[in-house]
Each structure stands twice: as structure tokens, then as C-alpha cells.
Structure 1
Amino acid sequence: MPPSYQILVGDCLELLRRMPDCSVDSVVSDPPYGLSFMGKKWDYDVPTTEVWAECLRVLKPGGHLLAFAGTRTQHRMAVRIEDAGFEIRDMIAWVYGSGFPKSHNLGGSHAGWGTALKPALEPITVARKPFSGTVAANVIAHGTGALNIDRCRVGTQDDTARISNGAIKGGNFAGGGSARGPIAGGHSAGRWPANLVHDGSEEVLAAFPDAPGQLAPASTSDTQRAGQNVYGNMKRGRGTEASAGSENAGVVGFHMRPGARRLDSGSAARFFYCAKTSRKDRNEGLISSDAPAVAKDATMRDCETAEWSTRNGNSHPTVKPTDLMAYLLRLVTPAGGVALDPFMGSGSTGKAAMREGFQFIGCEIDEQYAAIARSRIEHEINRQQEQQAESDQLDLFGTA
């Protein structure tokens, strides 16, 4: 049976008040940022404390809330969430390279001056409903209170361990903690998830340069490495050092074998990846034209006035990628749990919930967006059923 979902149309505060206490496992949402985006009335302010208080009430003890925000209004979002009774646990940064500044550029003697930076980050507040007792006891009682680390690990074929005195220490980024014994290697499921996710664009990747000092035996080179202040580079070593291949502090100041400082390869960017929404993702299950709504070099004004509703099946202006929402849901929702999105929009959270096997409740005040969300969610359910049918057929008849 596919996971179930409910779409509730109306003001989310009134809809939430009808829901029973402690009835959902997580809240994952992309609420209004309070930036009056594209002149939309619904984006005139961040959600009120009363809305977040209702989210707190319907969450099970220890349930997590993940709420996107704008960089200019993140402080107001977080404060209202905290004032509602949540415990602020962290902030996840979603970094992307495809944003462009809405700047007033000056001329004359002040040419080259402007009024805005290039938008490249959206913060996600990580909050949790307080509970009594230990985390372990709460997870046993309610299934909530902890993060599902293993389901959100980022796969890698590299050995991500760091070794000292023959044992993996707290620097074991894959395992996420100390490990005893002379064992090498990290966690088989991949890298420990971080509070950073990016879209894989060239601009973002450039911020994660290779770290040659950690990728090779730094202590075997007499040459001063270029870019000493770049992420991860270590001090130069001494190729004549007798113990260059064994455990020693040396000039690098690390009491470990130089070649074992970091056993992986490439930049750290590969551990934090999620692309922005593709046209295919936003329009799956909808009738849409192949014609783009705007030209390649469109201005912000062009985007604001484009005929999205006639050229693009999903007319919502702030669609989040399904892969990103799926990752966030996995992080905070127990298996088979109920996820709530009080600001559903075009249903990316619901679509992701169906993909991940979670139950879903979405609230949306705009009937047009609710209809789009329903079509996208139903399309995902149908796809999951088709994939399951194909899998069952293979199991029945075997493969060639």
C-alpha cells in the first residue's frame, strides 16, 4: 500500500487547530519569508508565533521542525519559532550558485556600486519540541527526538578515517565519533551528514577547492605548497625526514602517520549535494509546455511578469527540489511517520514524502496551488506503484 496523504485547503492556523495533539512526527516546510516576493500577498510577513505554537502542539514530544527562511528575515523566523516553545537545535544552510542579485546599480561617479549581494544561500531552522527524560527513552516511546543519521549519509568510495596511535579518533568524519581498535576505513554507508547542502553549481564547487595537504603525504615534500590558507592545506613537510612514513609529530604538528591524515580524494564539496529544482521535477504530473517562461538572459522584472501559468505547469514561484525535501524528511521523520507541511505550496514536501514512504498532511490556502500539489503527489504515487510492480515481476520471473 502506498503512503497516505491529506491536502487541507484553507488558512493553516485554523486547519492546525482542528488537528489532535501529538499527532505528527515531523514538520518540514518552506513558509513565507516575509520579503513580499514578486508582490505576493502571502509573503508579506513570516509566520506568526501562533502558527508555530500549533505546530508544536500537534508534534509528538521530541518531534523536529525544519523551516526554510530568507537571509534577511531568518532572525524573525527563528525567534518566533523559539517563542512558540521550540528548542532551536541548529541551522542547515542550502547553498546554490544560480541566484542573481536584485540590485539598484548606480551610475556616474558611483558606477560599479549597487544595493544587493548575489543571493546564494537559504537558511533552514532546525528546531525540536521539548520532551522529558532521555533521548533514547523518547525515541522508544514516540519514535522522535533524534536525527536519522544513517539514512542521510552521503555515499563515498573513499576511506574517510583519520588515524592516530593505530586507532580511529574523533576525526573519523564518516563514523562521526571515536572508534576503538586498529581499524581503518569509515562508515560503509558514507559520510556523516552536515549542516550544509549545495546545488553542485560551478560557483559553489569553487568554494570547496581540493585540499592537497590532506590528500597526500604532506611531510614528504620540501616544496612550500601554494595557497596555504585554502581549506585543508597543511604546512610543508621535510622529504628527508627519516620517519616521514611513520607516526610522528614532525613539522606538521600532527601526531600521526603523514600519509594517513586523510585517506579520501577530491574536494569536500561532494559530501553536501542537492541540485536546485529542475523543470522536470517541478512539472511532473502536470500539463505543461516545453517553451520556457523566460529567455536565458531574463531580468528579474522579466521573471516577475512572465506568463508562468500558461507556459509552465507549476506556476508556484518558489518550488523546492524534491530531492532536498526528501533528504530533510529522512533526517527527522521515523519510518512510516507522519510529516506535516503547514505551508505546502505546490507540494514538493508531499511528493518527497510519497517517495520516502512517509504519511503526509499538507495545508495550503490557495486552491490552485493545492490542485497542483495533488497532481504532483498522485504522479509520484503512481510512479512508485509502477516501480514496485516492475520489481515484483522481476522477483517472480527472475532476470535474463
Structure 2
Amino acid sequence: MSDNSVDAIVTDPPYGLSFMGHKWDYQVPTVEQWAECLRVLKPGGHLLAFGGSRTYHRLVVNVEDAGFEIRDMIEWLYGTGFPKSHNLDGEFEGWGTGLKPAHEPIVMARKPFNITVAKNMATYGTGALNITSCRVFTTDELDGGNSSLLSHLRDNTTPTSNYKQSPEGRWPANLIHDGSKEAIDIFPANAGAASPVKGTEPSAACTGQILGMRKRVATYHHGDSGSAARFFYCAKVTPAERDEGMERFIAFSASEMTGGRKEGSAGLNDPRAGAGRNSGAKNPHPTVKPLVLMKYLCRLVTPKGGTILDPFTGSGSTGRAAIEEGFSFIGIDLDPDNIVTASARIGYSYKQITSPAKSPEYE
């Protein structure tokens, strides 16, 4: 591939867990592999790569050592993980060896450039994030930021700055969750208002000549209601979605998809095979990501009409997302079977966006 030829890289590479005998998952991508990604990426182009909670540090170190600039970490939070723990009995009943998985980190990195962001955007179309296309829809009035101290409204004075509503929605955050009860319960009922300032609390005096206690300023809540969990969320992939485009394929049993585990056993909840999937699937790939999540990530880092590369394409979820969002796509994978699966799934998305009679879910 040519230097500086792709606009973004969105990928779900091996996590380096060597779990359940998946040999392709034995290590995170090497510095050399990420260096090749850096070479083909345009200056200012972003890389988004999923990682495992235990090996994320190795992923990020390799990405950084390859020459990328680490910009952020996006957390995908979910409540449907299955505990992978060796539970003890006898004297140590109630003790185990692992926690329930509830998140996957995504590294956000960028190829360095030596001009301003505006000039780089004008030259390559890369370097910034597409905030507008990734805003989170809301019916709340966003006057000045969640739980901001809009003192001019409280004091009936002229504002010192221009507050502007954001009819497009909320600013995208570096946290994404699956909407499950477990995830929702983590958040307070009113974002930023778990411990509201009433204005009557005692406070130590500041430095200088001021003596006694300072008066606290009460927070002003401005019609922004509901749980903090209303920020962008994305559930795990559904069985129907993972098999879209593979209607003519023969289904794999759950046992075949989890290294020969006995039907009905807890081992069928291999996290790299989809927790709780006991009925098998036509798409046997163990790490299928939800389409809505991948579409969101593709929009966030890719300019209009740009090209997305996935060097660990697996079953093609990034490819589906890219096609449905109007981007070009290049996918690479070592396994010929994965290429067959990815081709069928991407072909399904292509038919959906080109067919005159689209199904309602794609309108």
C-alpha cells in the first residue's frame, strides 16, 4: 500500500490473551505492524483500536513506540459480561480468581503532523474529530453545559459570555455504554447533581486577607434532566445482526465456536465468542462488534468520502460500518475463512444501501 493513502484506521486487533486456545489472540500487534499502519495513514489520520483490560497497556505502548501520538482512550462499558473465574471450595468457599468483565478500552491515536490542524484539514482532510456527526441526540435544552453555574440566570444579570444552545445534541464523550441495568445503575439520577451545592455549606477561607468562611455558590440546573447514563450507549451485537448476509451458510454449534466445550456448559460463555450464546451461529467469529458502535467510531475519525483501513478485519464489522456510512474500505485478515465471512456481511450492507427497496431499519 502507498504511503499516506488512508484517512483512518478502525480495528479490533488481537488482545494478547491466548484465551480458549485462540492462537491468533496470543499477542497484541507488534510495533512493526503499527509502524506500517502509521506509514499508510495520512498525516493527522486517527487510529482507533480495541484492547483488553489486562493487556491494554501493551497495545498502547506498541502504538506509541511505532510513532503515533496517543490522544485519548474511549471506554465501551457493558453489563452483560460473564465472569471467567476459578471458584474455590471447601475452606475457601466464596473466593475466586477473576472479576466480571464490564468494559473494553479503545485507544485513540493520531499520526503526527507539523502544521496547524486547520491547514492539515485543508490539505489532507484529517487531524480533527467529526464532532457534529457524533453528537448524542437529546430533547433537553443545553444552555451552557451540564450543571454549569449559569450565574447570570440565577442573579438576573447580563451574561459575561454568549451561551448557545446545541440543537444538534450532546458533545460526544469518551465513554460509551450498552444501556444495561448494570451500566445505568453506576450513574447518578441527575448528571452532575449527585452532590449538588446548595449554597449553605461551610467552606474554609481562601488565601490572602479574607478571614472566616467563604460563601458557597449554589449550582444552577437548567432543564437538563435524567440519568447521566443518557450519554451515547451501544449494546453488544445481537445474534440476528452477526448472521446478517450469511443466510445460505451452515451454522456452527456453540461447542464448535468455543473450542469443543460441552453443549450447555459455562465454557460456552467464552468472552471472545460472545457471552451467553448457547445456540451457535452462522458467523463463527468470536469477536463480532455491534454495527452501531463501529458506525459511530467510523464517523468520528473519517472525513466525508474517506477510506478506512482495518488491518485485523475479522468478520467485517468495520467494513459494514464503513460502507453504510458512505466510506471506502480496505480490510486485511490472515484467515481465508474470515475473508469469506466478512465479504458476505459487507455485501449484505452494500445491498442494503443500494437496493431501491431498503428495509425500514436502514431508512
> Where does the alignment leave 5 or more consecutive residues of structure 1 unmatched?
1-18, 169-177, 215-231, 239-250, 395-400
Q: Deviations over 1:81-129 (max 9, x none)?
A: 0000000011000011111111011111211110000000100000000
Q: CA deviation at 1:208?
A: 1.2
Distance 2:153 2:68 in 1: 39
2:121 aligned partner? 139
Structure 2 CA distance for partners of 1:90 and 1:140, relative to 1, 3 Å: same
Distance 1:291 1:77 in 2: 31
TM-score under structure 1 length normalisation: 0.76
Of 285, 301, 315, 2:267 maps to 301
- Is 2:254–2:268's contact at 8 Å kept on the other side of the alignment? no
Residue identity matched to 1:233:
S
The structure, 1 or 2, with the larger RCO (C-alpha pairs under 8 Å, 6+ apart) is: 1
- Is 1:234–1:252's contact at 8 Å kept on the other side of the alignment? no
Q: Does 1:253 align with 2:213?
A: no
Q: CA deviation at 1:187?
A: 0.7
- Is 1:212–1:233's contact at 8 Å kept on the other side of the alignment? no
Identity over aligned pairs, percent: 54
Q: Deviations over 1:111-163 (max 9, x none)?
A: 11100000001000000000011111101110000011111100000013345
Distance 1:165 1:311 in 2: 58
Residue identity matched to 1:312:
A
Q: Which structure 2 residues correspond to residues 322-341 of structure 1 after superposition, within 5 A? A: 322-341=291-310
State the superposition RMSD in angstroms: 3.1
2:83 aligned partner? 101
Q: Which structure 2 residues correspond to residues 207-218 of structure 1 after superposition, within 5 A? A: 207-211=186-190, 214=193
Q: Does 1:204 align with 2:183?
A: yes
Of 180, 184, 187, 2:161 maps to 180
- Is 1:24–1:340's contact at 8 Å kept on the other side of the alignment? yes
Distance 1:167 1:46 in 2: 52
Q: Does 1:372 align with 2:341?
A: yes
Q: Which structure 2 residues correspond to residues 28-43 of structure 1 after superposition, within 5 A? A: 28-43=10-25
Distance 1:97 1:69 in 2: 17
Q: CA deviation at 1:236?
A: 4.6
- Is 1:236–1:252's contact at 8 Å kept on the other side of the alignment? no
- Is 2:309–2:330's contact at 8 Å kept on the other side of the alignment? yes
Q: CA deviation at 1:302?
A: 2.9
- Is 1:167–1:180's contact at 8 Å kept on the other side of the alignment? no
Aligned length: 329
Residue identity matched to 1:355:
E
> Where does the alignment leave 5 or more consecutive residues of structure 2 unmatched?
201-213, 256-262
TM-score under structure 2 length normalisation: 0.83
Distance 1:365 1:291 in 2: 20
Distance 2:109 2:153 in 1: 35
- Is 1:326–1:349's contact at 8 Å kept on the other side of the alignment? yes
Of 169, 172, 177, 1:190 maps to 169
